[in-house]
Amino acid sequence: MASWNSLALESVRLVRASDADAARSYAMVNAAVYDAVNGIEGRHARRKRAHLLRAPAGAPERADERAAASAAAHAVLVRLYPDQAARFDAQLQADLARLGGGARVAAGLAWGRTVGADVVRLRTTDGSRPVESQAGGTGPGIFPLAWSGTQYRAMTPFGIADAAPYVGPGPAPLTGLDYAAAFAEVKLVGDAAIPDAAKVALYQYWSLPAGSAQPPGEWLKIALEVSARRSVPLAAKARLFALLGAALSDVSIPTVRTKYVHRHWRPETAIQQADTDGNPHTEKDPNWKARAGSPGSTPEYVSGHSSFSATAATVLAGFFCADRIGFTHVTDSAPVDPATGRPMERTFTGFSDAAADAGRSRVVGGAHFEFSNQSGLAMGRNVGSEVLARRLLYTTGPTHHGHCPL
């Protein structure tokens, strides 16, 4: 599974996919792998688990689950990224060579191909295409630029029932004290004109722009690293990545919908035009620039880095039955550590610690207000909790959901 997720990560980097596009791709690959493995597993398991997209009908009784997983991932990736088919074909051939021949491998290969093709077919009309945009707005508090990818506000979810309950209530009122407080904070900590190497490094570490695996992919990498240190059987690992992929894709829906509804201006615009906001406690600085180096390409509220990160942290803590699982990680955008000459590592006490770090990076980068970070974190926790509560549970008997949904 690690090799196929690594290929998905690299494909996202090569096509410079957006965060929502990337999350959908990861979800489809891992949904196919899980449904292929689960279909075979269910033929002889004492207790069966629910499927995610493709029902287990037709699964062979005696088939190699590893062959099925590889074939399912391959079938999705060659359809999502046909220009990269040679890389996917080579990985499939390498996997099959390790497994050897025989009827079980052949059965797994055929089943996995069927599941992968069906997953792509089932998601073809999910609302992720055609690409839609929102025009730039005018006036105090309004994001002024056009932005694309707004079709994701109405995409069919993988795991949650409905995105509507998770749409954020909105930014702090423009003329209120809470807005002025958040304004004052980001004006200070996110100011590019104030040297602060630690804040610059924190922002860059989590920046994850186009050409990276994007925030959803970074959490996929974290899951790969943490699960590799533990003895997780294939069926359980497939379930982990299906839950994670589904939740990360699903949180993109209320994230985009919230941005679309509230279309709030970014701190750089807000500070440069503070004389228009009607708030006596904010002060205009026409020369203020964010540490991020740009005002941002989508509306400010909510922070997508925060919503993606909290979603993943919730799913990982739920799966492993513990949040405080420490790890050291290097992101795709990590700056070079001058002391070592290598990309900078950061060490975290647990999943929620990393999510908080990712969310805070957007404030110190001058890209978001703290209320958008907090709303994004809350959104992500709630979406992740629903996916754990609703999906891939046992079909009979206790679901084992609660403090530990295993």
Whether residues 135 and 104 share a domain: the answer is no
Provide the Cα torsion 388, 213, 122, 108; round to 10°. -80
With contact defined as beta carbons under 8 Å apart, do 169 and 376 qualify?
no
Residue 290 corresponds to which amino acid? A
Q: Please state the rounded mean pLDDT for residues 236-247.
A: 97
Q: Is the pLDDT of residue 265 over 50?
A: yes
Q: Please state the rounded mean pLDDT for residues 130-140.
A: 97
Whether residues 119 and 178 share a domain: the answer is no
**Domain total of the chain:** 2
Whether residues 249 and 220 share a domain: the answer is yes
Residue from 92, 94, 100 nearest 75 by CA: 92
Higher pLDDT among residues 1 and 362, named by residue: 362
CATH of the domain at 64: 1.20.144.10
Q: Please state the rounded mean pLDDT for residues 95-117.
A: 97
Residue 264 corresponds to which amino acid? H
The confidence band for 401, taking pLDDT boundaries of 50, 70 and 90, is very low
Q: Is the pLDDT of residue 403 over 60?
A: no
The confidence band for 399, taking pLDDT boundaries of 50, 70 and 90, is low
The confidence band for 101, taking pLDDT boundaries of 50, 70 and 90, is confident
Whether residues 77 and 138 share a domain: the answer is no
Whether residues 59 and 73 share a domain: the answer is yes
Listed in sequence order, the residues at least 6 apart from 195 whose beta carbon sits closer than 8 Å to its beta carbon are none
- With 0.95 as the threshold, say if the pTM is over it: yes
Question: What is the spatial distance between Cα 41 and Cα 208, in angstroms, rounded to a whole number?
Answer: 37
For the segment 309-335, what is each residue's pLDDT rounded down to a tens digit?
999 999 999 999 999 999 999 999 999
Q: Which residues pair with 346 in a beta bridge?
A: 329
Q: Residue 400, Cα to own-chain centre: how many angstroms?
A: 25
Question: What is the spatial distance between Cα 253 and Cα 367, in angstroms, rounded to a whole number?
Answer: 21
Whether residues 311 and 253 share a domain: the answer is yes
Q: Residue 194, Cα to own-chain centre: how many angstroms?
A: 31
Whether residues 95 and 233 share a domain: the answer is no
Report pLDDT for 395. Answer: 87
For the segment 180-202, what is each residue's pLDDT rounded down to a tens digit?
999 999 999 999 999 999 999 99
Q: Please state the rounded mean pLDDT for residues 369-379.
A: 98
Whether residues 81 and 150 share a domain: the answer is no
Whether residues 230 and 354 share a domain: the answer is yes
User: H/E element holding 206?
Assistant: helix 197-207
Report pLDDT for 319. Answer: 94
With contact defined as beta carbons under 8 Å apart, do 349 and 317 qualify?
no
CATH of the domain at 169: 1.10.606.20
Whether residues 233 and 340 share a domain: the answer is yes
Whether residues 373 and 347 share a domain: the answer is yes
Report pLDDT for 402. Answer: 47
For the segment 60-98, what is each residue's pLDDT rounded down to a tens digit?
999 999 999 999 999 999 999 999 999 999 999 999 999
Whether residues 161 and 281 share a domain: the answer is yes
Query: With pLDDT > 70 as the criterion, what percentage of the chain qualifies?
Result: 98
Question: What is the spatial distance between Cα 32 and Cα 26, in angstroms, rounded to a whole number?
Answer: 10
Domain boundary among 108, 124, 140: 124
Domain boundary among 75, 102, 124: 124
Rg of the chain on CA atoms, in Å: 22
Report pLDDT for 338. Answer: 87
Domain boundary among 124, 146, 168: 124
The sign one gets for the Cα dihedral 362, 367, 369, 372 is: negative
Q: Please state the rounded mean pLDDT for residues 146-152.
A: 98
Residue from 291, 311, 314 nearest 302 by CA: 311
User: H/E element holding 134?
Assistant: strand 133-134
Report pLDDT for 120. Answer: 98
Task: Give, in order, the Cα–Cα distances in Å from 202 to each of 190, 218, 297, 365.
Answer: 11, 15, 20, 8
Report pLDDT for 46. Answer: 84
State yes or no: cis peptide before 299, omega within 30 of 0: no
Please state, rounded to an integer, the average pLDDT across all residues of the chain. 96
Question: What is the spatial distance between Cα 268 and Cα 289, in angstroms, rounded to a whole number?
Answer: 6
The confidence band for 212, taking pLDDT boundaries of 50, 70 and 90, is very high
Q: Are strands 133-134 and 346-348 parallel, antiparallel or unpaired?
A: unpaired
Q: Is the pLDDT of residue 398 over 80?
A: no
Q: Which range marks the domain in which residue 288 is found?
A: 129-406
